[in-house]
Structure 1
Amino acid sequence: MSQPTAGGDPAPATMRAVVVTRPGGLDALEIKDVPVPVRKPGWVRIRVKAFGVNESEVTTRKGESDAVVTYPRIPGIEGVGVIDQADEEGGLRPGQQVATMMGGMGRSYDGAYAQYVSVPAAQVIPFETGLPWDVVGALPEMFQTAYGSLTTGLDLKPGQTLLIRGGTSTVGLSAATLAKDLGATVLSTTRSRRRAGELRTAGVDHPLVDNGTIADQVRELMPEGVDAALELVGCSVLADTLRTVRRHGTVCFTGALAGQWTIPDFTPFMIPGGVRLTSYGGQAAGRLNVPVAKVYHGLEQVRDAQADVESGTTPGKHVVVLDD
C-alpha cells in the first residue's frame, strides 16, 4: 500500500529528467518530459533535491560502463531528497530526508538525474540535517565508496600506510580525508605535477606524480612497501600498484578511471607472493571536510557538470541542485 505524497498533494504525471538517448558525447544528454516512475512494492519513490555527478556516469553516457546498460536511460548513481511514497510497514514515511546510491541506479534502472526516482527501500538511508542540499548532495557515493574501500576492502588500521592511485578523483580525495582521520600515513597520485598541492590540501602526506609506473617512487619512500593500496585508475596499472605493497599487504580494486576493467590473459601469478588483492563495488553505507568542487543549478547544467568531471581540471565533488 502506498502512502500519499508528503503534504497530501499527488505527484505529477510527468517529470523532467536528463535522458541518455544513445551512447555518445555531451549531446547524448537530453532533457525530456517523462512519466513519473511508478513505485513498486518494497520500493520508495523520492523527490530528488540534489545529486552528485560522477565519473561512472560519464562512462555510462559514453557507452563504456562495465555494467549492463540499456538505452534510453536516466543516469545517476546517487541522490538525496525527500520521500514521496513508501510502504506503510517499511518504517519510511513521506517527507523524510533520505539518501540513496548504487544498487543498479542509473544503469539497470533509471537513476537520479530527474525530479523523481524510485529505488529499493533497502538502499534508502534516512537522515535529519539542516545542511543545505548542495552539501548533502556531495556526500553519498564518494564517502560510502571511499569508506567501504578502506574498511571492507583494505581493513585499514591506525598508523598504517596507504597508497591511493587516482588521488584527485572524488573518491580519492574522500579516501585521503577518511584515512587521515583514521590516523594513516597517505601517499596519493596525480598525473599532473601542478595538482600535487591539491592533494596536500586534502591531507596527503606524500603526493606522487604518476607517469604510468610509481612502484619505484613508493619504494623510495617506503622500502618495505605500503600496508595498503586503493586502486582507482584501473587494470592498466594494477600490476604496478601490486608491486608497491609489502608482503601480506592488501590492494583493493575499486575503480577504473582510465577505463580498463579487465586484464587480457590474466594469471594469478601476476600477484606478488604474499600480497592480497580484493575489490569493493559499493554498497549503501561530522567532522570531515567535504571537497565540493562546484554546484550547478537545474537539469539544464548537467552537461556542464559532466564536461567538468570529464576534464578533471577541478578536484572535488560536482553537485547538481534541483531548485523548487
Structure 2
Amino acid sequence: MSQPTAAGGAAPATMRAVVVTRPGCLDSLEVKDVPVPVRKPGWVRIRVKAFGVNESEVSTRKGESDPEVTYPRIPGIEGAGVVDEADEDSGLRPGQQAATMMGGMGRTFDGAYAEYVTVPAGQVIPFTSELPWGVVGGLPEMFQTAYGSLAVGLGLQAGQTLLIRGGTSTVGLSAATLAKDRGATVLSTTRSPERAGELRAAGVDHPLVDDGTLVDQVRELVPDGVDAALELVGCSVLADTLRTVRRHGTVCFTGALAGQWTIPDFTPFMIPNGVRLTSYTGEAVDLPAEVFAHQLQAIAEGRLKVPVAKVYHGLEQIREAQADVESGTTPGKHVVVLTD
C-alpha cells in the first residue's frame, strides 16, 4: 500500500477559501475560513500559490454551469502551487512545484479558489520554473486547452496553415503563440479592427476582422483553404469555418464564445466534401509534463508570449477579478496570486 508523504510541517486545520453558498451575483463570492481538505489515497494536496479566473467560474457562480455542480462549492478549474502531501508512489514530492486543471475541479469537487486544493494525482503536472506565480497561475487551463486543440484535435504540423476563430480570447492568443512555435502560418480573427494589434503581438501572420463570414477573406490569402481551423466562437459560425478549410483539412470545435453549442436540425451534409470535423473537451493528461516544461522555458526565453491581463493579490480581490472577466473589457488572462 502506498504511504503518504507530507510537506515539512503539518497543514493547518483551516484555510481561507472563496465559497459560493448559492448561485447569484458577485456578492455570492464569499471569503471564509473552512477546513483544509483531507487528501484521499491516490489524490494530491497542493498548497495553492495562484489560480486563473475563467468564464466557466463566472457561470458556476451564476448557477449557469454544468448540471452536476452542487452548492456550496469552492470554484476554480485550475491552479498552480507546491505539493503539500501525496502518496509515495505518485512520483510527486512535497515542496515540488505543480499545476493542475479540469477533471471536475470547482464543479464536482472543490477547486483552486483556496489556500489548499486536493485533486487526483493523474491531473497534476510537476514543473520547475522561476517564472512568477502571476504568470504560471494563468497557464494550466489556457495552455492545456490550446495545446490539446492543436495536438489532439487538429494534429497541427510545421509548415501548415491554421485559422483561429475567436483569436483574441485567452485560448485563441495562446494557440497562436503555440502554433507559431510549431512552425505554422497563423490566420486569426477579431470582431474589432482596433484589436488586430493584439493578434500581431501574439505572432499572428494574418489578423482578420470577423463580420460573421470569413470564407472569402481566408480563400483570398489561401486559395485552396487552410490546413486546419480552431473553432472557438461556436456553432453559429461553424458552417462558415468549415468552408475555409481545404479538402482533407480539419476543423476542431473547442469553444463557443458566442454561446451557441448546438446546431438545430444538424445534418452531416453541411460538412464540405472531404473536410474533417473533430472536437476537443480537454483533460490534464493531454498536456504532458515535458510539453509544459518546454512552454515554460519558451516563456522564460521570450519565445512564447503569455496574454496576462491583470494580476490580483489575495482572495479578497476575487469579486473584482470576476467582474473584470465578465465585462470583457480587459483582454487576456486574469490571475489571482495568494499572499503568504
Q: TM-score, normalised by structure 1?
A: 0.94
For 2:301, the equivalent position in structure 1 comes to none
For 2:216, the equivalent position in structure 1 comes to 216
Q: 2: CA distance between counterparts of 1:24 and 1:192?
A: 31
For 1:257, the equivalent position in structure 2 comes to 257
Cα distance per residue 1:196-231 (max 9 Å; x no partner): 111111111111122222222222222221111101
Q: 1: CA distance between counterparts of 2:67 and 2:178?
A: 28
Q: What is the one-letter code of the residue matched to 1:150? A: L
For 1:144, the equivalent position in structure 2 comes to 144
For 1:175, the equivalent position in structure 2 comes to 175
For 1:19, the equivalent position in structure 2 comes to 19
**Is 1:72 equivalent to 2:72 in the alignment?**
yes
| Aligned partner of residue 8 in structure 2, secondary structure | helix
| Aligned partner of residue 172 in structure 1, secondary structure | helix
Q: 1: CA distance between counterparts of 2:216 and 2:91?
A: 53
Cα distance per residue 1:67-125 (max 9 Å; x no partner): 63222221111101111111122221221111111111111111101111000001111
Query: How far 1:5 moved relative to its partner?
Result: 4.2
Q: 2: CA distance between counterparts of 1:265 and 1:279?
A: 19
Cα distance per residue 1:241-295 (max 9 Å; x no partner): 1121111110001112222222222221221121101111112212222222111
CA contact (8 A) 1:67 1:107 kept: no
For 2:47, the equivalent position in structure 1 comes to 47
For 2:91, the equivalent position in structure 1 comes to 91
| Aligned partner of residue 293 in structure 1, secondary structure | strand
Instruction: Summarize the alignment of residues 70-219 of structure 1 with structure 2, pairs less than 5 Å apart.
Output: 70-219=70-219
Q: 2: CA distance between counterparts of 1:249 and 1:309?
A: 34
Q: What is the one-letter code of the residue matched to 1:279? A: S
- Alignment length (residue pairs): 323
For 1:300, the equivalent position in structure 2 comes to 316
Q: Percent identity?
A: 84
Which runs of structure 1 show a deviation greater than 3 angstroms over 4 or more consecutive aligned residues?
1-5
Q: 1: CA distance between counterparts of 2:105 and 2:216?
A: 39
Question: Mean alpha-carbon deviation: is it higher for 117-126 or for 209-218?
Answer: 209-218
| Aligned partner of residue 235 in structure 1, secondary structure | coil
Residue from 310, 314, 318 that aligns with 2:330? 314
* Structure 2: unaligned runs, 5 residues or longer: 288-296, 299-303
Query: How far 1:136 moved relative to its partner?
Result: 1.6
Q: 1: CA distance between counterparts of 2:150 and 2:76?
A: 24
Q: 2: CA distance between counterparts of 1:211 and 1:79?
A: 35
- Across the aligned residues of Structure 1 and Structure 2, the Cα RMSD in angstroms comes to 1.6
Question: Mean alpha-carbon deviation: is it higher for 93-102 or for 111-120?
Answer: 93-102
Q: 1: CA distance between counterparts of 2:276 and 2:49?
A: 41
CA contact (8 A) 1:86 1:94 kept: yes
Q: 1: CA distance between counterparts of 2:225 and 2:63?
A: 37
For 2:7, the equivalent position in structure 1 comes to 6
Cα distance per residue 1:170-216 (max 9 Å; x no partner): 11000000111111111111121111111111111111122222222
Q: What is the one-letter code of the residue matched to 2:158? A: P
* Structure 1: unaligned runs, 5 residues or longer: none
Q: TM-score, normalised by structure 2?
A: 0.90
Q: 1: CA distance between counterparts of 2:75 and 2:228?
A: 32
CA contact (8 A) 1:173 1:202 kept: yes
CA gap 1:62/1:237 in 2 versus in 1, 3 angstroms: farther
Cα distance per residue 1:22-51 (max 9 Å; x no partner): 333322322222221111110011110001
Q: What is the one-letter code of the residue matched to 1:301? A: Q
For 1:246, the equivalent position in structure 2 comes to 246
CA contact (8 A) 2:6 2:86 kept: no
CA gap 1:224/1:22 in 2 versus in 1, 3 angstroms: farther
Q: What is the one-letter code of the residue matched to 1:59? A: S
CA gap 1:267/1:25 in 2 versus in 1, 3 angstroms: farther
Q: What is the one-letter code of the residue matched to 2:317? A: Q
CA gap 1:71/1:265 in 2 versus in 1, 3 angstroms: farther
Q: 2: CA distance between counterparts of 1:251 and 1:63?
A: 31
